[in-house]
Amino acid sequence: MKLNSIFAAAFLALTLSASVAAAMPGMAPQADTATAAAPEQPIAGKVLEVLNSGGYTYLLLDVDGFKDWVAVPELVVAVGEEVELLQGTQMGQFSSKALNRTFDKIIFSAGPTAKYNETRKINAHKSADMSAPAPGRKKAESKVIEGLKVEKATGLNAYNLEELFAKKDALHDKKVAVRGQVVKVSTGIMNRNWVHIKDGSGANGDNKLVITTKDEPNLGDIVTATGVFHKNVDFGGGYNYAVIMEDAAVK
149-182 confidence digits (pLDDT tens): 889 998 889 999 999 999 999 999 999 999 999 9
Is the domain of 149 the same as that of 201? yes
Is a pLDDT exceeding 70 seen at residue 215?
yes
Assess if residue 28 is contained within a domain.
no
Confidence bin at 124 (pLDDT 50/70/90)? low
The number of folded domains in the chain is 2
Assess if residue 30 is contained within a domain.
no
3-state secondary structure of 232: strand
Assess if residue 11 is contained within a domain.
no
Q: Which of 59, 92, 123 is the last residue of a domain?
A: 123
Assess if residue 15 is contained within a domain.
no
Assess if residue 7 is contained within a domain.
no
- The CA dihedral of 21, 27, 28, 30, to the nearest 10 degrees, is -100
Is the domain of 146 the same as that of 78? no
- CATH number for the domain spanning 217: value is 2.40.50.140
Is the domain of 184 the same as that of 96? no
3-state secondary structure of 184: strand
- Cα 114 to Cα 90, 109, 120, 146, 157: the distances in Å are 21, 13, 10, 42, 38
What's the whole-number average pLDDT of the chain? 78
Quickly count: other Cβ atoms within 10 Å of residue 193's Cβ.
Answer: 20
Is a pLDDT exceeding 50 seen at residue 15?
no
Assess if residue 175 is contained within a domain.
yes
Confidence bin at 39 (pLDDT 50/70/90)? low
Q: Which of 77, 92, 123 is the last residue of a domain?
A: 123
Q: Which residue has the higher pLDDT, 27 or 116?
A: 116
pLDDT at 166: 93
Assess if residue 134 is contained within a domain.
no
Q: Is the dihedral of CA 131, 135, 137, 138 positive or negative?
A: positive
pLDDT at 133: 45
Assess if residue 35 is contained within a domain.
no
pLDDT at 143: 67
Domain containing residue 48: 43-123
